[in-house]
Amino acid sequence: MTTTSTPTRILIVDDNAAIHADFRKVLATSRIDRLADDEQFLFGEPQACADSLEFEIDSAFQGEEGLEKVRQANSSGRPYTIAFVDVRMPPGWDGIETISRIWAEYPRLQVVICTAYSDYSWHEICERLTHRQNLLILKKPFDAIEVMQLAYALTEKARLADEVAQHVECLEQRIQERTLELQRSNHELQSQVVQREQAESHLHHLAFHDTLTGLANRQSLQNNLQASIEMARANSTEKFAVMFVDVDRFKSINDGLGHEVGDELLRAFSSRIEKSLRLDDLMNSAGTDALAGRLGGDEFVIILKRLRDSFDAVRVAERLLRILDRPYQIQGQTIHISPSIGVVNFDPSYQLASEMLRDADTAMYEAKLKGGDSFVVFEPSMQTAIQVRLSMEHDLRQAIITNQFWLAYQPIWSVQDLSLQGVEALIRWNHPEKGMIRPDQFIPIAEQTKLIVPIGEWVLRESCTQFGKWKRAGLAQTPKYISVNLSRVQLMQPGLVDVVDAILKESQMLGPELQFEVTESMIMEDPRQACAVISQLKSLGIRLAIDDFGTGHSSLACLHEFQLDVLKIDRSFVKQMNEGTTHPALLNAIVRLAENLGLECVAEGVEERDQLDQLGVMGCHRVQGYLLGKPKSNADFVSEYLMAPCLSQSTASEPTNQAISSASMVFDASTTPSASLHR
């Protein structure tokens, strides 16, 4: 225990006068001496600096009085080191409010909360009080030795904190002095660096050719392009373009055949570029000038100067494609490669070379997305689109890894008796930063990148697993089947049937309990392969529904050639059924068509009572829409639909139209999921 020159000031804030007396007795100097004797008995001879502590104790009987005493102590230059604060002090502030107000002005004060009750949990205290490093809790009735230990420890802590503060102040002074020295040294070093950079810049300027291909290097290209931009901005008649050329599949060739072959291929590729530009009729006849260079790797840039119009660059790109696409003979091997070319024509909005290179690169990427071996002329909309697409692709990959997807379930009802027939599983994405992302925003990108394959398999497995749990739970109602959307990429993916068969067995489902929904345009892109896969799926007993019927280009062909079970009428027909006489007639014709072909007919997007009534009159078998049920999370779907009595039982004694009316009103009032679940 270290000797202190002045007594430690302690404030007791408690509405009970007896508590104040107890603290004064406990913290008497003689008791502290006894603590020192006990310390000597346990730990041996004390250090030479050991001595008694003296405490100067003040009292406050309410929180407001305590705050005022703290203010007075600080203004007098003799602040309190410790405050023991009771939690309950009616009728004024409680202890937490008192501490909060004191700390708002004097955050360094060390506080011990004294309480005999569990008025606040530690979590609640932490939420309300920010300076938790200066906070301790003492439970009543407290032991005298506990109080002495706290007073001793907190006094020592305060002393050490003062020493640290003084030490930090000394260190800061030394740092400032050292910083001035370093600044002077740094200034001298900067002068030397500038001189060295000037020398290196001169050497770099001399080496303006790429060592591998002999073309202009990156720096030469950027300098030349910047000069072309400035010239064109100064002279409105000056026209030029930039072409960004990339070798398709170069990495696989480089990895498979070796870097030596890859380097030779790049030399041959660059040689063809130079030859094409040199022999191009446009260059010779119009006096067009061109500079070809290599940015690095398999990326090349061509600057076309003194063009007559924007179509000149297109003509050069067409010629380059023909020449660069021919086979290459490298070390006795015939290698087939093709270029992807992005073209950007100068306009006055460009000020920097990096801007034109960026947009040419963006157009080149669009050409790659088209399958390569093509060129694309840049349009401003591409930049935004590609940034959104790349960001979404990255987020999708993270979503797969971190399980950000979940399923919502929407019921499918029988129009005739209002019984629950099926349920459609709908994927939802809860992005940790962007919130709920609509399926129409991320599904197309997932299909383009083929991320739809793992996502689709997860949806299928999750849907079937949940359906199996519903079956085995003995609920009041269980749908007859669960419907899952199937994308074109999934349909054409090898091994799809084996995956589906394995998932059915894992979830203990029968084939007819699973329904796949496909669009008519999707299966007509490759009818032969689609027909083969669908036939294998049908052999497992799986139901097949044609989704969004009437919006594709081969509706009747789909119905005729494929083994369909269900025809789902697109929501646009239902939405417009009350607009004029044409739409109801079309809708009625679709229902009759399904009936004649022996297909179950499901109307999507039923949102109004009148729509439900008319569909019932037309003879539509099933309905799905917000009127009778919006997509729900699993827990809500179970509680609101599967654990509820059958809708037809509650209305069995009423006529069919009355039952539909009653059911519509009941479900419309009781099924209101959050807007984020809306399809």
- Using the predicted structure, report yes or no on whether residue 26 has a pLDDT greater than 80: yes
* Lowest mean pLDDT across 393-397, 483-487, 589-593: 589-593
Decide: 427 and 403 in contact? Cβ < 8 Å.
no
The vertex-621 CA angle with 617 and 622, nearest 5°, equals 110
User: pLDDT tens digits, residue range 559-568?
Assistant: 667 788 999 9
CA distance 421 to 601: 12
Of 317, 286, 213, whose CA–CA distance to 221 is shortest? Answer: 213
Q: Which residue has the tokens 């059958």?
A: 646
- Using the predicted structure, report yes or no on whether residue 38 has a pLDDT greater than 60: no
Provide the pLDDT for residue 36: 55
pLDDT confidence bin for 453, thresholds 50/70/90: very high
* Chain mean pLDDT for the chain: 84
pLDDT confidence bin for 40, thresholds 50/70/90: low
Q: Which residue has the higher pLDDT, 327 or 278?
A: 327
Of 508, 515, 489, 522, whose CA–CA distance to 424 is shortest? Answer: 515
Kind of pairing between the strands at 135-139 and 110-115? parallel
Residue 296 half-sphere exposure toward CB, CA atoms < 13 A: 3
Q: What are the φ and ψ backbone dihedral angles of 252, each rounded to 5 degrees?
A: -65, -35
Of 457, 449, 426, 453, whose CA–CA distance to 439 is shortest? Answer: 426
User: pLDDT tens digits, residue range 268-308?
Assistant: 999 999 988 887 766 655 567 899 999 989 999 999 998 98
- Using the predicted structure, report yes or no on whether residue 44 has a pLDDT greater than 90: no
Q: Which residue has the tokens 């019932």?
A: 616
CA distance 429 to 442: 9
Cα–Cα distance list, 566 to 34, 294, 352 (Å): 91, 57, 58
Enumerate domains of the chain plus CATH numbers. 8-165 (3.40.50.2300), 218-378 (3.30.70.270), 415-671 (3.20.20.450)
- Using the predicted structure, report yes or no on whether residue 196 has a pLDDT greater than 80: yes
Provide the pLDDT for residue 206: 61
Q: What are the φ and ψ backbone dihedral angles of 207, each rounded to 5 degrees?
A: -95, 75
User: pLDDT tens digits, residue range 413-429?
Assistant: 999 888 899 999 999 99
- Using the predicted structure, report yes or no on whether residue 461 has a pLDDT greater than 90: yes
pLDDT confidence bin for 648, thresholds 50/70/90: low
- Using the predicted structure, report yes or no on whether residue 552 has a pLDDT greater than 70: no
User: pLDDT tens digits, residue range 525-549?
Assistant: 667 778 889 999 999 999 999 888 8
Residue 634 half-sphere exposure toward CB, CA atoms < 13 A: 13
Provide the pLDDT for residue 664: 39
**Sheet-wide strand order for 135-139:** 55-60, 8-13, 82-86, 110-115, 135-139
- Using the predicted structure, report yes or no on whether residue 671 has a pLDDT greater than 50: no
CA distance 91 to 461: 61
Q: Which residue has the tokens 């594709």?
A: 552
Helix-helix angle 218-234:353-369, to 10 degrees: 110
- What 3-state class would DSSP assign to 401? helix
State the DSSP code for 47: P
Provide the pLDDT for residue 526: 66
429-443, 580-594, 661-675 — most confident range:
429-443
Q: Which ranges of 371-495 would DSSP assign to H, the alpha helix?
A: 380-402, 439-448, 452-472, 488-491
Please give the model's pTM, rounded to 2 decimal places: 0.51
Question: Count of residues for the chain?
Answer: 679
* Lowest mean pLDDT across 32-36, 179-183, 464-468, 619-623: 32-36
Residue 202, Cβ neighbours under 10 Å: how many?
9
Percentage of the chain modeled with pLDDT above 90: 48
Provide the pLDDT for residue 136: 87
Q: Alpha-carbon dihedral of residues 469, 474, 478, 481, nearest 10 degrees?
A: 40
The amino acid occupying position 527 is: P
pLDDT confidence bin for 324, thresholds 50/70/90: very high
- Using the predicted structure, report yes or no on whether residue 667 has a pLDDT greater than 50: no
Taking residues 323-330, report their average pLDDT.
Answer: 93
Taking residues 113-128, report their average pLDDT.
Answer: 78
Provide the pLDDT for residue 540: 95
Kind of pairing between the strands at 405-414 and 622-624? antiparallel
pLDDT confidence bin for 340, thresholds 50/70/90: very high
The amino acid occupying position 450 is: K
Q: Which residue has the tokens 């496909």?
A: 518
